Amino acid sequence: MKKHTVRFSLNGTPREITVNANELLLNVTREQEKLTGTKYGCGIGECGACTVHVDGRPTLSCLQLAVAVDGAEVVTIEGLAKGRELDPLQKSFLDNNAVQCGYCTPGMIMIGRNLLDENPNPTEEEVRTHMRGQLCRCTGYASITKAVMGAGKCATGDFKIPAE
Ligand code: FES
Ligand code: FES
């Protein structure tokens, strides 16, 4: 199969990769780039676990061909923290105990961040509507919704990712 070169930005770093025409962005981030925060859930666009940002838009990476992100800016869950400083929404998930098994969490945070960028103070209904495509098998929707609504006022302001 003919190989294609794809140049794109991944979490702010320029990348050049070689892929088959049918390679999915989810496989590139998880397997080629070893960024395993993005999760494989259903593989058919129904659960939202694989959500990343492509040029600022939430994108299901299990349905996104890697060749189509040529020239784009891709951000995964690993790209949200600034150094050791978590994104306020990540802190809010901790504050609100919005993580159970954690499998849906990266996708939830990526779509929640997108909502907060557009609307910093969403109502419960706005959160639920925006995130209706995200599935949580642990059914933690109430605390997840609370975490997104409370991202502007979380208490773990001094929480830092531990140094390695
Ligand atoms: S793994 Fe992509 S939507 Fe479920
Ligand atoms: S926390 Fe387990 S799937 Fe959502």
Instruction: Identify whether the C-beta of residue 62 lies closer than 8 Å to the C-beta of residue 125.
Output: no
Please report whether residue 164 resides in a domain: no
- To test the ligand 1 pocket, which listed residue (38, 60, 136) has its Cβ within 8 A of the most ligand atoms? 60
Q: Are residues 131 and 71 in the same domain?
A: no
Q: For residue 140, how far is its CA from the centre of ligand 2 (angstroms)?
A: 7
What is this structure's pTM?
Answer: 0.92
Tell whether 160 is covered by a domain.
no
The band of 18, judged by pLDDT with boundaries at 50, 70 and 90, is very high
106 and 129 assigned to the same domain: yes
Residues near ligand 1 (Cβ within 6 A): 40-43, 45-50, 60, 62
State which H helix or E strand residue 25 sits in.
helix 25-27
pLDDT tens digits, residue range 132-141? 999 999 999 9
Number of domains composing the chain = 2
Ligand 2 test: best mutation among 104, 141, 144, most atoms within 8 Å of CB?
Answer: 104
The rounded distance, in Å, linking the Cα atoms of 94 and 15 is 31
What confidence category does residue 159 fall into, taking pLDDT thresholds of 50, 70 and 90?
A: low
Contacts of 34 (CB under 8 A, 6+ apart): none
Ligand 2 atom 2 nearest Cα: 101
Domain end residue (candidates: 25, 47, 79)? 79
Residue 21's domain comprises: 3-79
Is residue 95 located within the same domain as residue 144?
A: yes
Nearest to 57 by CA among 74, 43, 79, 40: 74
Ligand 2 center to 54 CA (angstroms): 24
- What is the per-residue pLDDT for 1? 80
Which residues contact ligand 2 via a Cβ below 6 A?
99-105, 136-138, 140
Q: Are strands 57-60 and 13-20 parallel, antiparallel or unpaired?
A: unpaired
Residue where a domain terminates, one of 37, 52, 79: 79
- 26 pLDDT band, cuts 50/70/90, is very high
pLDDT in tens, 114-131: 999 999 999 999 999 999
Task: Check which CATH number belongs to the domain holding 115 and give it.
Answer: 1.10.150.120
The CA-atom distances, in angstroms, between 99 and each of 3, 85, 124 are 39, 19, 18
Q: Picking from 24-28, 55-59, 82-86, 112-116, which range would have the lowest pLDDT averaged per residue?
A: 82-86
Same domain, 57 and 20: yes
Question: Which residue's structure tokens are 């088959």?
Answer: 20
Residue 162 lies in a domain: no
State the closest ligand 1 atom to the C-alpha of 62, by its place in the atom list counted from 1. 2
Mark whether 100 and 128 lie in a shared domain: yes
- Chain Cα centroid distance, residue 119: 17
pLDDT tens track for 60-100: 999 999 999 999 999 999 999 998 899 999 999 999 999 99
